[in-house]
Amino acid sequence: MRKLELHWRILIGMFLGVVFAYLMVQLEWGPKFVSDWIKPFGNIFINSLKLIAVPLILGSLIKGVSDLKDISKLSKMGGRTIGIYVLTTVIAVSIGLGVVNLIKPGSSISQETRNELVENYKGDADSKIAEAAKQRDAGPLRALEDLVPDNIFQAASDNGNMLQVIFFAILFGVGLILIPEEQASPVKKFFDGFNEVILKLIDLIMLAAPFGVFALLAALVVESPSLDLFKALGWYALSVVIGLTLMICVYLFIVWIVTKKTPAFFLKGISPAQLLAFSTSSSAATLPVTMERVEEHLGVEEEVTSFVLPIGATINMDGTSLYQAVAAVFIAQAFGMDLSLSAQLGIIVTATLASIGSAAVPGAGMVMLVIVLAQAGIPEAGLALIFAVDRPLDMCRTVVNVTGDATVSMVVAKSVGKLGEPKVKDWDDHYKGKKVI
Ligand code: ASP
């Protein structure tokens, strides 16, 4: 019998996870059972994805850069990638501002609910504010300084240092281009093989994806706050979701216009990565799958994916920037502040920079939101207002972050003549003729 396609299997896993959690919360011992016996499997799944992020970046980026054979190609691609990333982020913030000004979710929130939310989430908000203070105190060139590791093993031992690993891999790849072919060839062959092994590991880990997302969603539902608070923040959440949906439409349009690929083709190719982004709330954990899907199912050549996607996962967060814009204006509205046009234009700049600085892990966007609020003169304590619904919105914005990276990699690939036909049309092709386990 033909197996169901991967995205269906993941969706079924997610659905069953939610249903299972609802049944378990009815039982007295249910929530503890889920935390003790189900949640760890979700964590194992996320860890196994994170485990291969650093080796994947090293292997594929070194191979990708050295395959370019010419440094001018690298700078051409680099310039385009960063340029398009910034452009899509500015579009995202503008959409967010448009939606939140139209819906005005903050005006409908009552004084009573506001006080209740501030009271309930003050502690959580304070810890995010303290985290943000550390980042804000850094000097203007700090980000640049942080890019260059003083020890590659140390950098590679922390997933939070992804940009440093990227820097090293690009440098190493450039070195490989510059040395004579005779010496470069065995090193390249090693990284070629290394890279293939890592890609195979992603296939193997993805076999467990439906079970992994089942565990992740079950744990999330059991631990989520009461529905009443969700309702109070309904208009705000809706504004974020509408903005994010519009952004996805923008991507589909861009892909269609630039590459002539239909929305159905694009969504079918990228959907497993989107579902994983939703379940894990982390673009970094999703990166291995994003790379595999874009390369094998959307037809982008490895030289482009290996360069554009790891950089995108760390600096291109359109969903996060859109959310930061909506959240900032929502908090201002809830506190009865009227934001001038120039304050809103300032948000475009700060939200763009803040999303670049956000780490690709759950909840990171909220820490950087503190900086956006401070710049716009909005009370930081307002963070407490949006805490209750942050996790579900984090799940949604991470989907957009990942989709944005995939879109830009297709556009860059097209512009440098590296967009071909997908290597794999069907998930089962991976295993044809090969016994995997
Ligand atoms: N969770 C997001 C990501 O990993 C970042 C954020 O907005 O919190 O892309």
Q: How many CB atoms lie within 10 A of CB 209?
A: 21
CA torsion through residues 137, 370, 353, 154, sign: positive
48, 205 Cβ separation under 8 angstroms:
yes
Q: How far is the CA of 272 from the centre of ligand 1 (A)?
A: 17
The Cα 391–Cα 225 span in angstroms is 10
Give the nearest ligand 1 atom to 286 CA: 4
Three-class DSSP labels, 211-228: HHHHHHHHHHHHHCCCHH
Closest CA to 40 of 195, 216, 172: 216
Helices (H), 157-180: 162-178
CA distances in angstroms from 51 to 168, 202, 216, 218, 341, listed in the order given = 18, 10, 17, 23, 45
Give the nearest ligand 1 atom to 398 CA: 9
Is the per-residue pLDDT at 436 higher than 60? no
Output the residue whose Cα is nearest ligand 1's atom 7: 365
pLDDT of 151:
94
The Cα 283–Cα 277 span in angstroms is 6
Q: How far is the CA of 314 from the centre of ligand 1 (A)?
A: 10
Give the nearest ligand 1 atom to 313 CA: 9
Q: How far is the CA of 391 from the centre of ligand 1 (A)?
A: 10
Residue with tokens 């760390």: 314
Q: Which range (79-93, 213-227, 262-276) has the least confidence?
A: 213-227
How does pLDDT run across 281-303, given as a tens digit for each residue?
Answer: 999 999 999 999 999 999 999 88
Q: Over pLDDT 70: what percentage of the chain?
A: 93
Mean pLDDT for 42-49 is 93
Residue 300 sits at φ, ψ, to 5 deg, of -85, 130
Q: How far is the CA of 206 from the centre of ligand 1 (A)?
A: 21
Ramachandran sector of residue 127 (left: φ over 0; alpha: ψ -120 to 50; beta: rest): alpha
Q: Over pLDDT 90: what percentage of the chain?
A: 57
Give the nearest ligand 1 atom to 363 CA: 8
Q: Structure tokens of 64?
A: 């990708």
Helices (H), 69-180: 71-103, 111-136, 142-147, 152-156, 162-178
Give the nearest ligand 1 atom to 364 CA: 8
Mean pLDDT for 262-283 is 96
Q: How far is the CA of 435 from the centre of ligand 1 (A)?
A: 36
Mean pLDDT for 326-336 is 92
Which protein residues are within 6 Å of ligand 1, measured from CB? 281-283, 317, 320, 358, 360-365, 394, 397-398, 401
pLDDT of 184:
93
String of DSSP letters for 261-323 = --HHHHHHHHHHHHHHHHHH--HHHHHHHHHHHHHHHS-B-HHHHHHHHHHHHHH--HHHHHH
The Cα 189–Cα 191 span in angstroms is 5
Greater confidence, 215 or 430?
215
Is the per-residue pLDDT at 235 higher than 50? yes
Greater confidence, 41 or 61?
41
pLDDT of 361:
83
pLDDT of 160:
78
Give the nearest ligand 1 atom to 282 CA: 4
Give the nearest ligand 1 atom to 281 CA: 1
The Cα 11–Cα 21 span in angstroms is 15
Average pLDDT, the chain: 88
Output the residue whose Cα is nearest ligand 1's atom 6: 365
pLDDT of 228:
63
Is the per-residue pLDDT at 67 higher than 90? no
Give the nearest ligand 1 atom to 320 CA: 7
Is the per-residue pLDDT at 437 higher than 60? no
Is the per-residue pLDDT at 434 higher than 80? no
Is the per-residue pLDDT at 431 higher than 50? no
pLDDT of 36:
95
Q: How far is the CA of 119 from the centre of ligand 1 (A)?
A: 26
Q: How far is the CA of 246 from the centre of ligand 1 (A)?
A: 18
How does pLDDT run across 160-179, given as a tens digit for each residue?
Answer: 788 899 899 999 999 999 99
Is the per-residue pLDDT at 426 higher than 60? no
Output the residue whose Cα is nearest ligand 1's atom 1: 362
pLDDT band at 1 (very low <50, low <70, confident <90, very high): very low
Q: Is the pTM of this model over 0.75?
A: yes
pLDDT of 71:
83
Closest CA to 259 of 423, 89, 413, 404: 413
Q: How far is the CA of 72 from the centre of ligand 1 (A)?
A: 33
Q: How far is the CA of 425 from the centre of ligand 1 (A)?
A: 30
The listed range with the strongest mean pLDDT (59-73, 98-112, 298-312) is 298-312
How does pLDDT run across 386-423, given as a tens digit for each residue?
Answer: 988 899 999 999 999 999 999 999 999 999 999 988 87
Is the per-residue pLDDT at 99 higher than 60? yes
The Cα 171–Cα 399 span in angstroms is 30
pLDDT of 12:
95
Mean pLDDT for 344-367 is 87
Closest CA to 168 of 181, 183, 155, 157: 155
Q: How far is the CA of 89 from the centre of ligand 1 (A)?
A: 14
Residue 419 sits at φ, ψ, to 5 deg, of -105, 115
Mean pLDDT for 19-46 is 93
pLDDT of 186:
95
CATH topology of domain 6-424: Proton glutamate symport protein (1.10.3860)
Tell me which H or E stretch contains 38. Answer: none
DSSP 8-state secondary structure symbol assigned to residue 150: S
pLDDT band at 189 (very low <50, low <70, confident <90, very high): very high
The Cα 40–Cα 219 span in angstroms is 9
pLDDT of 140:
67
